[in-house]
Amino acid sequence: MNASRPLSIPVAGAGPVSALLLAPPQARACFVFAHGAGAGMTHTFMNDAAESLARRGVATLRFQFPYMEKGSKRPDPPALAQATVRAAVAEAARLCPALPLIAGGKSFGARMTSQAQSALPLPGVAGLAFLGFPLHPAGKPSVARADHLDGVALPMLFLQGTRDKLAETELLEPVVKRLGRRATLHLIAQADHAFHVPARSGRDDLAVMDELTQTFASWADGLGVRDS
């Protein structure tokens, strides 16, 4: 497999941010993959997901949000985060012009991507994929963070753990049902927001990652993104 290619993406009003493109031979899609609030694009989960997706024929473009690039712990305002998503999508389209684009990410990155799409469609993006959509803060159940999803016309994939404290299943399931055929929910049994599972489950992080990326690839196939 090819190594990740380091890149720099200019973001208006923030300067350049670092990025990594991992494009396997004969890739059939590219996932513009935003990181979560507390860890950047090189976090173990992000690395493992990118490599597992590559083995399934899906390229990934990971990128830093400006606050993470600067070493800050405070996430960027939504407008700047969404502008960064747009810049990353444009770069993916430039680098992988023959590949369908899927945008999304982990937690905060997932929500900033969906907000960006809701505000103004991301050019060339065929679907959105969320790895742990943060429906509400921990201990503060609500569905208000999902209101903007009604404005997203694209297919959406929700990959969620059943023990995710930022997306109680009994709240998320009605949201997905409300979105209709656009939305697909895949629950990872006993996984938390970081997609860790307890030892008593009989599974480990590798098994969970396999389930995540196989589900992603199968859903992408349903968008018409298939091997030639």
pLDDT digits (tens, 9 = 90+) for 165-215: 999 999 999 999 999 999 999 999 999 999 999 999 999 999 999 999 999
Residue 87's alpha-carbon distances to 127, 144, 166, 217, in angstroms, are: 17, 27, 27, 24
In 3D space, the residue among 63, 70, 54 whose CA is nearest the CA of residue 86 turns out to be 63
Q: Residue ranges per domain, the chain?
A: 5-222
- For residue 146, pLDDT beyond 90: yes
Judged against a pLDDT cut of 50, whether residue 58 lies above it is answered with: yes
- Architecture of the domain made up of 5-222: 3-Layer(aba) Sandwich (3.40)
State the pTM of this model. Answer: 0.95
Report the pLDDT averaged over residues 149-162: 97
Task: Look at residue 227 in the predicted model and tell me its pLDDT.
Answer: 41
pLDDT attached to residue 91: 98
* Burial degree of 66 (CB within 10 A; 0-12, 13-18, 19+): buried
Residue 86 has pLDDT above 60, yes or no: yes
Q: Using CA atoms, how far apart are residues 96 and 29, in angstroms rounded to an integer?
A: 9
Q: In what order do the strands lie in the sheet with 183-188?
A: 5-11, 15-22, 58-63, 29-34, 101-106, 125-131, 156-161, 183-188
**Residue 2: per-residue pLDDT:** 74
